[in-house]
Amino acid sequence: MSSIDSTTVESLNSIPISEADFYIGLCLAVSSSAFIGSSFIIKKISLKKLNKVGLRASAGGFGYLKDWTWWIGFLTMGVGELANFGAYAFAPASLVTPLGALSVLVSAILASKFLHETLNANGKMGCILCILGSIVVVIHAPHSEEFPSMDALMVRVLEPDFLYYVFIVSVIVIVIMFFLGPRYGNKYVAVYVALCSATGSLTVMSCKALGLAIRSSISGDLPTKDVWMVIVIFCAVICFICLQMNYLNKALDVFETSIVTPVYYVMFTTMVIVVSAILFKEWVNMEATSVLGAICGFGITVVAIFLLSYSNKKTNEHPLAPSRAVIRQYGSNTLLSRTV
């Protein structure tokens, strides 16, 4: 890519996200959470039914592949993931990612209705706070600047701040994979979750870049010379997701879902907000009250996630004890879908 002077850079980055795009992204994010939260329950209904007559999925059984209910849940999750990807293409990542908590809310409500799981006082309070926190986040979410072209995106990507962040993430991943993970991964939940969260923040940025490329291609604004960037971004998304899936499953294999879920949500969302602020400069033009409101909304949602997670924790199990097979299977379905 040819060099671009500072004046050109400023002109490339001066187009704010439109109100229409913001609300399209918001609707896609909310619908994504509704679809994904519903898919958990649909698949859980199928698995519970099949557990009575065959080998459990967590023990190597694949009978669910012959059950139409499970496939409905699978397709529902697919629709939710597509909506989630579309949301990142239209709205700021610091808006879309916190709203992922709504899938936990939907799952909790539907589980109490269709799976007859008790929603205790903590769970009900968590539901209320989840809705409240999400509303506050939406009200105060930054309207990030939208890149008009792949060239404008590459200018920001090559800035020192973002390169420093990528370097730090790379160090975190390498240190955990080869040093901390083998030694402390089975003792502390934050070890593997930190790797997933760090990688996940780059996954989100790659998805936003891929969404920009797709929109530019559809509108005919994607130059032929930029096709190589699209291929590189697509490969990066696949690699990041595979790395997340591997280490998130490791965490779920050792620790309870009720512990992994809130820790992962907090770390992942925090890192996405940080990298979004670095790459998109979302917070630069925001008023202090809006910044404070966004932080408070995120904090309320974090508390809600902890309450919802612990409301379903079995009282006879220690939260840091190794999880059972059925918890691993259900937990992996729940969390892997929100890595992007």
Domains of the chain, by residue range, sit at 6-17+120-336
**Cα–Cα distances in Å, from 278 out to 20, 92, 156, 275?**
24, 13, 9, 5
pTM reported for the whole predicted model: 0.73
- Please provide the DSSP assignment of 219-254 as one string: HT---GGGHHHHHHHHHHHHHHHHHHHHHHHHHHHH
Q: Which residue has the tokens 């698949």?
A: 43
pLDDT in tens, the chain (340 residues): 444 444 444 444 445 677 888 889 899 999 999 998 888 788 778 777 776 666 554 444 556 677 788 788 889 888 988 898 888 888 888 888 888 888 888 888 888 888 777 778 888 898 899 889 988 988 888 776 667 677 778 888 888 999 999 999 999 999 999 999 899 988 888 899 999 999 989 998 888 888 888 877 777 777 777 788 888 888 999 999 889 878 887 887 777 766 777 788 888 888 988 888 888 877 777 788 888 988 899 999 989 888 887 776 543 344 444 444 333 333 333 444 444 4
The token pair that represents 293 in the structure block: 């409101």
Question: Is 145 in a helix, a strand, or coil?
Answer: strand
